């Protein structure tokens, strides 16, 4: 989705087939900016996925615990 490997593989390839030195410099720096931005996005996406996984793992025991608490309360009264 983010294709960081493709950006790093083509970091020195000029964009749009322009082979003058200005285009090579612009292409290099634009790709560096893209790699940095996409790496940050990958890091944030990884954090979100790990948070969702932790939430998923914690919800089931909490639901079982709350259900047990309510069932035992219903049996006592």
- Residue 9 in 3-state DSSP? helix
Within a domain: 15? no
Within a domain: 7? no
Residue-range definition of the domain harbouring residue 59: 23-76
pLDDT in tens, 10-42: 888 888 888 888 888 999 999 999 999 999 999
Beta carbons of 23 and 61 less than 8 angstroms apart: no
pTM of full prediction above 0.85:
no
Within a domain: 2? no
- Residue 1 in 3-state DSSP? coil
The confidence score (pLDDT) of residue 17 equals: 80
The total number of structural domains that make up the chain:
1
**Length of the chain in residues, anyone?**
77
Within a domain: 18? no
Average pLDDT, the chain: 89
Within a domain: 9? no
The DSSP secondary structure of 10-73, one letter per residue, reads TTTSPGGG--SHHHHHHHHHHHHHHHHHHHHHHHHHHHHHHHHHHHHHHHHHHHHHHHHHHHHH
């Amino acid at each position: 989705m983010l294709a960081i490997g493709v950006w790093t593989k083509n970091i020195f390839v000029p964009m749009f087939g322009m082979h003058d030195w200005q285009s090579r410099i612009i292409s290099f720096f634009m790709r560096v900016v893209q790699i940095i931005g996409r790496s940050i996005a990958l890091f944030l996406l990884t954090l979100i996925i790990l948070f969702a996984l932790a939430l998923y793992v914690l919800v089931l025991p909490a639901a079982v615990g709350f259900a047990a608490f309510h069932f035992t309360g219903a049996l006592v009264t």
